Amino acid sequence: MRNLRFRRAARTSVLGTAALITALSLTACQEGGQAAADATTTAPDASDTQPPADTEAPAAQDGGAAGSGSGEDSASDAGKASGTGSTKADPAADTQQDDAKDTGPVTRACDGGNSKVTLTPVPRPLNHMLLTVTNTGSTACNAYYYPFLRFGEAQSTPPVVEESKPQAVVTILPGESAYAGVMTSSADGSGTGGYSTKKATVHFQGRDGSGSSGPSASAPLSKAVYVDSTLTVTYWQTEMDYALMH
């Protein structure tokens, strides 16, 4: 009888323990579920962690302004480096102005200081010689009017052939030449006061045509030349053919 009671008590105890464990498990599950729910309820929204759009707009505008200013400064610096942003005068413009001055009207007269002359006989026309003046200077010069040519110790210069006058002043560039024709004597022997000489000197006229200007030039002769009273010269010409037409 006693054993039966003991068994019932033990059975009752086991059942009670099992019931308690089950109750505790349910309670734990409920608390875990509530904790998860609470965690879900109280977890901050991801959108709440993002800064408001308005707070970034000024930064973006400030950054844009800074970038714009940097670009302008860079463009300004680049302009200065290339010379386009500088206010200094362009050296090329100065050079062009200097070139314009150099290519202006020529007023310098050719003379023995910037030119050399040669006097050579020609087969045609008869009793003619070609007087050549070559610019040996570094700038252009003008061969004004006609040469004052003296043979030997003559005190006067031969007259000019007026029909040979060019339409414009003859300008000689550096290294180039101009020409004048010289008739030394008459072909038919009608001239008077003839003489022979191996010396010839050329004097140049100035712009105003009032007489010789600058140093003279000697025209060496390889052999004696006979001249008489019919001695004449032409105006300076740009072509030798023009000089020998008269």
Per-residue pLDDT of the chain (246 residues; tens, 9 = 90+): 444 444 544 454 544 555 445 544 544 444 544 444 444 444 444 444 444 444 444 443 443 333 444 444 444 444 444 444 444 444 444 433 443 345 578 889 999 999 999 999 999 999 999 999 999 999 999 999 999 999 998 888 999 999 999 999 999 999 999 999 999 999 898 999 999 999 999 999 999 988 888 999 999 899 999 999 999 999 999 999 999 998
| 121 shares a domain with 19 | no
The verdict on 139 and 237 lying in the same domain is yes
Does 102 reside within a domain? no
Same domain, 131 and 225: yes
Residue 224: predicted pLDDT: 96
Same domain for 239 and 119: yes
Q: What is the pLDDT of residue 103?
A: 57
pLDDT score at 84? 42
Spatial separation of the C-alpha atoms in residues 62 and 75, rounded to whole Å = 20
Note the pLDDT of residue 213: 84
Mark whether 32 and 138 lie in a shared domain: no
Nearest one of 194, 161, 195 to 180, comparing CA atoms: 161
In this structure, the answer to whether residues 16 and 122 fall within a common structural domain is: no
pLDDT score of 66: 39
Which residues constitute the domain of residue 193? Answer: 115-243
pLDDT at 105: 87
One domain, residues 131 and 228: yes
Give me the residue label for tokens 């004449």: 232
Claim to verify: residue 26 and residue 138 sit in the same structural domain: no
Alpha carbons 117 and 111: distance in angstroms, whole number: 10
**Residues in contact with 163: Cβ distance below 8 Å, sequence separation at least 6, in sequence order:** 246
CA distances from 179 to 90, 106, 142, 147, 150 (A): 43, 19, 12, 10, 16
Residue 63 placed within a domain: no
Note whether residue 110 is domain-resident: no
- Which H or E run contains 76? helix 53-82
- Cβ(219)–Cβ(199) below 8 Å: no
**Is 1 within the bounds of a domain?**
yes
Residue 65 lies in a domain: no
- On whether residue 165 sits in a domain, the answer given is yes
In a domain, 13, yes or no: yes
Q: Considering the domain boundaries, does residue 144 fall inside one? A: yes
d(CA 58, CA 40): 35
Number of independent structural domains in the chain: 2
- 135 and 29 in a single domain? The answer is no
Position of tokens 């006989």?
121
The alpha carbon dihedral of 6, 7, 8, 11 has a sign of positive
**Tokens 């050329």 found at:** 202
